[in-house]
């Protein structure tokens, strides 16, 4: 081993142009373990000699001034390690430990039920003994176990210290009737740990992209429990917690990839999981899945039978790093760009670039604008970007990206994306007239989800739509299904089938997109990705089922929000040689009852932003020389009365300077849903802010007509919003808005 140390040190000292990864590969080819070489390189980098310092026999004693120097170097100096002190004084770590005072052992039991009485005492050595553990530590924990965990099957130990597994422990457990079964304790529990660095109070995390938000949970009682949630999720690298709202948010981006926001309440702080090449779990990269199964390895997961990086990260030769966004510098020899956003690393620019398939028409992101005295009706989500994609059968595609300052053209070669869209507007034809359906006992219900069309109406065990040809090819591909459903009353006692294709009823060759007893589900026989939440009967709900072939991950969205994530999910292996079905699969006795509308299937991973828009963006008017064009997913074109156009906050604006002058949109089904949140977003530049209406809602029924100014100005020029609550109108006032100024 000493000879190996010298050889590695020699290569490091003589070959300044060699990268560490090249040296590791060289010695791995000779049969040495990767981790061994990394450890030697680490010794070199921190300045340790090639040969170990003498550490046999009686440890070196420090006397006089040397002992005083050692004590001063260690006392009350948090973060000074014994290894660094050994390097400074030219001795081994054990010598430093021997000459310092006793360690203070603080031991306690911790679970979701609370914390046990701690044991605090001094101890010699780097670890506690079995006697101390049984006679001191466990005795302090006994009342805590008996009160909260007497019926539990086993206890999870904090690490792999041998004292936890001594024979004396089993004897003590039996004599006190503790339900501690050490043989069933997960022996890899230590490798599913992480180190977390906390920021100061008054900080919150802002990711570079909103899609990095993995979850947001309320009623989390402590920062520690929030940290536990992050540690249990391999994709989580950063979290923040608010002590007042008890909200815990998990993010997949490392702290350095986003921004730290500061606030005056001092109620929140950020936790960042520590990542570097010294984490031993990374030594299992590329190894069989036994090395990274659930509960075994926190940093790697099983993908395609080997230990790989979690989704949206890539292997740089040492650790898993976050994949990069559009325009970021990248290494084109590595999958360093966000593949779920269709990005790839250009070998010409070494930057992450959008990979577009076919002919793409993109509507630029703008803000809705208006001028004074505008009366408009706009419901929108936080996102206001719309992208429309047409199918291309070509193997080579050209993407033209246009901005205000430049136009760039990038040509790439890739497999074509299949895009299918069934609008169900009085027929079952595909929007692109390729995958047209053949209906059986299907009727049409008006209005559909967009207010002007229709939805397909199914009767259980009677109605069906057959897609005979061409055959839909989903074999070994990514895909996204999304649609609107309004299910019937028997949903909680039946399987409600949405889409079905099954060349043969064998493993991985039969696909079902369905609602199982009220819960959304994607299944590739027999890999099930099932939601834990029920959807509501007779209410419009947006569902999206996304499979990422490269990440082997399925994601279920409900109303635009991630509901369920299933990792290590199988790809569809069925040969495209059979028809597909919507709303019926007689071969497996599955059917659908209720309404389905706007069913889309594309053979790519839709982004969370696209799905959020499809589910929540009612309409979006940019007012760029066309008052009626809706750039949102529902294409609800408006009508302008006495409108003109002028220069806007961004591009063009609609000008309303006569009486009457307004923009109107009707039949907004989504906006009429009860007990749903809503928002309006636009820019205004008012000529006058006195008694003016911005948004006005009107609803007509057979027996009642009702209207309500939702947003406008008071007689004093301040902004005011109103909402009808049963028979009461609730209002909230805002600041005075200055005229002749663009305000959002």
In this predicted structure, the answer to whether residue 414 has a pLDDT above a threshold of 80 is: no
**105 against 217, higher pLDDT:** 217
* Residue 272 to residue 195: CA distance in whole angstroms: 8
In this predicted structure, the answer to whether residue 415 has a pLDDT above a threshold of 70 is: no
> What sign for the dihedral angle of Cα 419, 422, 428, 429?
negative
In this predicted structure, the answer to whether residue 426 has a pLDDT above a threshold of 90 is: yes
Residue 569 DSSP class: P
Rg (CA), the chain: 32
Taking each continuous run of H as one helix and of E as one strand, the counts in the chain are 11, 48
Compute the average pLDDT of residues 273-282.
79
Residue showing tokens 């005229």: 739
**430 against 142, higher pLDDT:** 430
Is residue 442 very low, low, confident or very high in pLDDT (cuts 50, 70, 90)? Answer: very high
Q: What is the pLDDT of residue 498?
A: 96
Q: What is the pLDDT of residue 625?
A: 64
Does the N-terminal peptide bond of residue 470 adopt cis geometry, omega within 30 degrees of 0? yes
* Residue 308 to residue 602: CA distance in whole angstroms: 27
* Residue 50 to residue 734: CA distance in whole angstroms: 70
Contact predicate 122/105, CB 8 Å: yes
Q: What is the pLDDT of residue 156?
A: 47
* Residue 291 to residue 306: CA distance in whole angstroms: 9
Cα→Cα distances 437→178, 429, 468, Å = 64, 6, 7
**387 against 588, higher pLDDT:** 588
Q: What is the pLDDT of residue 80?
A: 64
Among 4-13, 129-138, 359-368, 566-575, whose mean pLDDT is lowest? 359-368
Q: How many residues does the chain have?
A: 744
> What sign for the dihedral angle of Cα 75, 78, 81, 86?
negative
In this predicted structure, the answer to whether residue 295 has a pLDDT above a threshold of 70 is: no
CA-nearest of 52, 93, 617, 571 to 387 is 617
* Cross-strand partners of 345: 352
* Residue 45 to residue 51: CA distance in whole angstroms: 14
Among 154-163, 261-270, 277-286, whose mean pLDDT is lowest? 154-163
Is residue 595 very low, low, confident or very high in pLDDT (cuts 50, 70, 90)? Answer: very high
In this predicted structure, the answer to whether residue 68 has a pLDDT above a threshold of 50 is: yes
CB atoms within 10 A of CB 278: 13
Looking at 128-201, list the stretches that DSSP marks H as alpha helix, in order from N- to C-terminal side.
130-132, 138-148, 167-175
In this predicted structure, the answer to whether residue 445 has a pLDDT above a threshold of 50 is: yes
Residue 571 DSSP class: P
Reduced 3-state DSSP string for 224-261: HHHHHHHHHCCCCCEEEEECCCCEEEEECCCHHHCEEE
- Backbone angles phi and psi of 66, in degrees to 5: -65, -45
Contact predicate 303/277, CB 8 Å: no
Q: What is the pLDDT of residue 507?
A: 85
Is residue 205 very low, low, confident or very high in pLDDT (cuts 50, 70, 90)? Answer: very high
Contact predicate 627/640, CB 8 Å: yes
CA 448 to chain CA centroid, Å, is 31
Compute the average pLDDT of residues 683-694.
84
Is residue 23 very low, low, confident or very high in pLDDT (cuts 50, 70, 90)? Answer: confident
Is residue 78 very low, low, confident or very high in pLDDT (cuts 50, 70, 90)? Answer: very low
**166 against 417, higher pLDDT:** 417
Contact predicate 218/245, CB 8 Å: yes
Compute the average pLDDT of residues 321-345.
85
- Backbone angles phi and psi of 608, in degrees to 5: -60, -30
CA-nearest of 484, 485, 545 to 513 is 545
* Cross-strand partners of 2: none
3-class DSSP state for residue 274? coil
Rounded to 5°, angle at Cα 735 from 729 and 736: 110
Q: What is the pLDDT of residues 545-561, one digit of tens each?
A: 999 999 999 999 999 99
Cα→Cα distances 620→1, 64, 210, 278, 696, Å = 68, 79, 20, 50, 16
Among 65-79, 468-482, 635-649, 656-670, whose mean pLDDT is lowest? 65-79
Contact predicate 456/442, CB 8 Å: yes
Compute the average pLDDT of residues 717-742.
83
Q: Which range in 42-51, 296-305, 611-620 is most confidently predicted, on average pLDDT?
A: 611-620
* Residue 352 to residue 356: CA distance in whole angstroms: 13
Q: Which range in 72-81, 425-434, 667-676 is most confidently predicted, on average pLDDT?
A: 425-434
Q: What is the pLDDT of residue 60?
A: 61
Compute the average pLDDT of residues 672-685.
78
80: its two tokens: 């000074």
Compute the average pLDDT of residues 91-113.
71
Mean pLDDT of the chain: 77
Q: What is the pLDDT of residues 462-517, one digit of tens each?
A: 999 999 989 999 999 999 999 999 999 889 888 999 999 998 888 888 999 999 99
Is residue 52 very low, low, confident or very high in pLDDT (cuts 50, 70, 90)? Answer: low
**352 against 168, higher pLDDT:** 352
- pTM for the whole structure: 0.48
Q: Which range in 376-385, 539-548, 646-655, 708-717 is most confidently predicted, on average pLDDT?
A: 539-548
Is residue 598 very low, low, confident or very high in pLDDT (cuts 50, 70, 90)? Answer: very high
Q: What is the pLDDT of residue 396?
A: 31
In this predicted structure, the answer to whether residue 459 has a pLDDT above a threshold of 60 is: yes
**424 against 656, higher pLDDT:** 424
Q: What is the pLDDT of residue 170?
A: 60
Among 65-79, 190-204, 226-240, 708-722, whose mean pLDDT is lowest? 65-79
Q: What is the pLDDT of residue 46?
A: 67
Contact predicate 573/475, CB 8 Å: yes
Q: What is the pLDDT of residue 392?
A: 32
In this predicted structure, the answer to whether residue 371 has a pLDDT above a threshold of 60 is: no
* Cross-strand partners of 361: 388
**160 against 564, higher pLDDT:** 564
Q: What is the pLDDT of residue 314?
A: 92
Q: What is the pLDDT of residue 556?
A: 96
Is residue 357 very low, low, confident or very high in pLDDT (cuts 50, 70, 90)? Answer: very low
Compute the average pLDDT of residues 334-353.
82
Q: What is the pLDDT of residues 516-532, one digit of tens each?
A: 999 999 999 878 899 98
Among 345-354, 696-705, 725-734, whose mean pLDDT is lowest? 696-705
678: its two tokens: 């809503």
In this predicted structure, the answer to whether residue 439 has a pLDDT above a threshold of 90 is: yes
Q: What is the pLDDT of residue 162?
A: 57
CB atoms within 10 A of CB 224: 14
- Backbone angles phi and psi of 378, in degrees to 5: -135, 120
69: its two tokens: 């120097």
């Amino acid at each position: 081993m000493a000879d190996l140390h010298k050889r590695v040190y020699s290569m490091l000292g003589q070959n300044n142009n060699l990268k560490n990864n090249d040296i590791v590969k060289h010695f791995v080819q000779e049969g040495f373990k990767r981790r061994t070489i990394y450890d030697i390189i680490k010794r070199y980098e921190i300045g340790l000699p090639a040969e170990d310092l003498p550490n046999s026999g009686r440890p070196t004693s420090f006397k006089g001034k040397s002992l005083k120097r050692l004590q001063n170097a260690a006392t009350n100096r948090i973060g000074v390690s014994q290894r660094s002190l050994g390097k400074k004084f030219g001795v081994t770590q054990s010598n430093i430990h021997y000459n310092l005072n006793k360690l203070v052992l603080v031991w306690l039991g911790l679970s979701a039920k609370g914390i046990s009485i701690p044991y605090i005492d001094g101890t010699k050595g780097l670890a506690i003994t079995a006697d101390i553990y049984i006679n001191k530590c466990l005795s302090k924990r006994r009342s805590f176990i008996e009160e909260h965990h007497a019926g539990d099957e086993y206890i999870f130990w904090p690490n792999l210290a041998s004292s936890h597994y001594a024979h004396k422990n089993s004897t003590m457990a039996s004599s006190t009737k503790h339900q501690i079964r050490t043989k069933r304790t997960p022996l890899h529990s230590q490798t599913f740990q992480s180190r977390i660095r906390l920021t100061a109070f008054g900080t919150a995390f802002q990711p570079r992209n909103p899609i990095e938000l993995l979850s947001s949970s309320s009623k989390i009682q402590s920062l520690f429990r929030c940290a536990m949630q992050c540690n249990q999720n391999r994709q989580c690298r950063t979290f923040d917690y608010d002590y007042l709202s008890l909200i815990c948010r998990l993010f997949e981006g490392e702290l350095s990839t986003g921004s730290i926001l500061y606030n005056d309440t001092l109620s929140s702080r950020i936790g960042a999981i520590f990542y570097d090449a010294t984490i031993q779990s990374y030594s299992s990269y590329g190894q069989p899945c036994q090395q990274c199964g659930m509960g075994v390895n926190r940093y790697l997961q099983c993908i395609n039978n080997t230990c790989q990086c979690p989704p949206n990260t890539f292997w740089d030769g040492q650790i898993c790093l976050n994949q990069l966004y559009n325009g970021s510098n990248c290494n084109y020899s590595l999958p360093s760009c966000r593949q779920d956003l269709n990005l790839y690393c250009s070998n010409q620019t070494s930057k992450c670039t959008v990979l577009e398939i076919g002919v793409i028409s993109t509507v630029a992101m703008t803000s809705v604008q208006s001028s004074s005295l505008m009366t408009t009706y706009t419901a929108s989500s936080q996102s206001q970007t719309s992208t429309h994609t047409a199918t291309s059968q070509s193997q080579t595609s050209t993407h033209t990206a246009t901005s205000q300052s430049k136009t760039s053209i990038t040509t790439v070669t890739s497999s074509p994306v299949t895009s299918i869209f069934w609008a169900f507007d009085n027929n079952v034809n595909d929007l692109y007239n390729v995958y047209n359906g053949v209906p059986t006992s299907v009727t049409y219900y008006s209005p559909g989800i967009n207010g002007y069309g229709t939805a397909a109406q199914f009767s259980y065990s009677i109605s069906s739509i057959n897609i005979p040809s061409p055959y839909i090819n989903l074999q070994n591909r990514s895909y996204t299904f999304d649609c609107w459903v309004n299910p019937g009353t028997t949903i909680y006692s039946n399987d409600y089938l949405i889409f079905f294709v099954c060349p043969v009823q064998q493993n991985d060759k039969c696909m079902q997109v369905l609602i199982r007893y009220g819960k959304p589900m994607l299944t590739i026989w027999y890999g099930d990705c099932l939601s834990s939440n029920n959807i509501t009967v007779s209410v419009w709900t947006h569902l999206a089922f996304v499979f990422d072939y490269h990440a082997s991950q399925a994601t279920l969205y409900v109303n635009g929000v991630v509901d369920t994530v299933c990792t290590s999910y199988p790809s569809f292996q069925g040969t495209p040689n059979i028809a597909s079905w919507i709303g019926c699969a007689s071969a497996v006795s599955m059917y659908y009852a209720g309404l389905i509308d706007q069913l889309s299937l594309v053979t790519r991973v839709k982004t969370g932003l696209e799905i959020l828009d499809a589910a929540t963006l009612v309409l979006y008017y940019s007012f760029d020389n066309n008052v009626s064009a809706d750039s949102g997913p529902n294409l609800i074109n408006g009508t302008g009365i006495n409108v003109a156009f002028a220069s806007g906050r961004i591009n063009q604006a609609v000008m309303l300077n006569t009486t009457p002058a307004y923009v109107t949109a009707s039949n907004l089904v989504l906006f009429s849903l009860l007990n749903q949140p809503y928002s309006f977003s636009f820019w205004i530049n008012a000529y006058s802010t006195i008694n003016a209406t911005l948004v006005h809602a009107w609803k007509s029924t057979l027996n009642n007509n009702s209207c309500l100014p939702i947003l406008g100005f008071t007689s004093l020029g301040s902004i005011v919003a109103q909402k009808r609550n049963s028979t009461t109108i609730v209002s909230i006032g805002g600041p005075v808005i200055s005229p002749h100024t663009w305000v959002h």
